[in-house]
């Protein structure tokens, strides 16, 4: 019903994106409705009790029926709050509590943040991480479309936040911790990755590219990039030009 209000949302290419959007739209509609009601009441009172010849200010005591002006809106706000809780709990469970286990994932990747870049370690031809044919790239994350991806997120220096708007994914990277998360991209294309935690002077340019490839293009890319030996496993740098 309110979908036209959200034309400005970025494209969604995440399997769980629609559920996150649903919660956000619900919160937005609740807050917007309250805004309209409060402004209408405010302007009505401004008009109704405007300065008039012979009019006098009166004192409203904070007891008796006047208390209902506080209690009723407070109860309504609480009801809205509980409705949001009921709606969001299953989504939180699905995305954060019951994450796919490594054996259920199609891919595992390492993401490492630093001032001011994103480093990615992707599995090579053997499909598993921490082997000689791992592909290490700064600035571009390449994945096959439809893959269920588990990521392990670390930081070398300060707190960063791995932010992929089209995946509806935002996860802090905290020094000293290795944080697990997951996503599943449903559409091929090149998308922007940003940092969503103010992390220093280069925060605004801390970007990377997410490339989601068709299975065929991905195989081709894998053939080209995956090193034959550990000696070839050197860092490649691809800096996005957005
Ligand atoms: Cu950052």
Confidence grade of residue 157 (pLDDT, cut at 50, 70, 90): very high
Q: How does DSSP classify residue 100?
A: P
Distance of CA 222 from the midpoint of ligand 1 (Å): 28
User: Residue ranges per domain, the chain?
Assistant: 7-97, 102-237
The pLDDT score that the predictor gives to residue 66 is: 81
Integer Cα distance of 138 and 111 in angstroms: 10
The pLDDT score that the predictor gives to residue 36 is: 96
**40-49 pLDDT, tens per residue?**
999 999 999 8
CATH tag, 102-237 = 2.60.40.420
Distance of CA 115 from the midpoint of ligand 1 (Å): 6
**88-111 pLDDT, tens per residue?**
999 999 999 999 999 999 999 999
3-7: Cβ within 8 A, 24+ apart? 5/29, 5/32
pTM of this prediction?
0.84
Structure tokens at 94: 């699905």
Is the pLDDT score of 236 beyond 90?
no
Is the pLDDT score of 21 beyond 60?
yes
Start-to-end CA span in the chain (Å): 35
Average of pLDDT values for 201-209?
95
3-state DSSP: the chain helix, strand, coil percent, rounded to 5? 40, 25, 35
Kindly report the average pLDDT of the chain as a whole number: 90
Residues lining ligand 1 (ion), CB within 5 A?
160, 195, 199, 206
Classify domain 7-97 at the CATH topology level.
Helix Hairpins (1.10.287)
The pLDDT score that the predictor gives to residue 23 is: 94
Distance of CA 128 from the midpoint of ligand 1 (Å): 27
* E strand segments, the chain: 107-114, 117-122, 135-138, 140-144, 148-155, 160-164, 169-173, 179-184, 189-195, 208-213, 236-237
For the ranges 27-41, 45-59, 163-177, which has the lowest average pLDDT?
45-59
């Amino acid at each position: 019903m309110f979908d036209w209000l959200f034309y400005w949302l970025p494209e969604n290419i995440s399997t769980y994106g629609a559920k996150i959007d649903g919660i956000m739209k619900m919160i937005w509609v609740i807050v917007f409705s309250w805004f309209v009601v409060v402004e209408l009441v405010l302007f009505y009172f401004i008009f109704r009790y405007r300065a008039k010849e012979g009019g006098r200010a009166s004192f409203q005591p904070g007891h008796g029926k006047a208390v209902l002006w506080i209690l009723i809106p407070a109860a309504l706000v609480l009801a809205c709050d509980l409705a949001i809780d009921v709606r969001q709990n299953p989504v939180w469970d699905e995305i954060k509590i019951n994450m796919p286990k490594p054996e259920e994932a199609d891919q595992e990747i390492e993401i490492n943040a630093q001032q001011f870049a994103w480093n990615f370690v992707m599995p090579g031809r053997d499909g598993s991480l921490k082997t000689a044919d791992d592909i290490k790239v700064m600035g571009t994350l390449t994945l096959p479309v439809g893959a269920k991806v588990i990521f392990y997120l670390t930081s070398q220096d300060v707190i960063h936040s791995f932010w992929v708007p089209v995946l509806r994914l935002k996860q802090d990277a905290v020094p000293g911790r290795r944080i697990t998360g997951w996503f599943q991209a449903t559409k091929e294309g090149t998308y922007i990755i940003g940092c969503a935690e103010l992390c220093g002077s280069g925060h605004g340019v801390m970007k990377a590219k997410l490339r989601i490839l068709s299975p065929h293009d991905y195989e081709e890319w894998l053939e080209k990039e995956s090193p034959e030996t550990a000696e070839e496993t050197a860092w490649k740098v691809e800096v996005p030009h957005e």
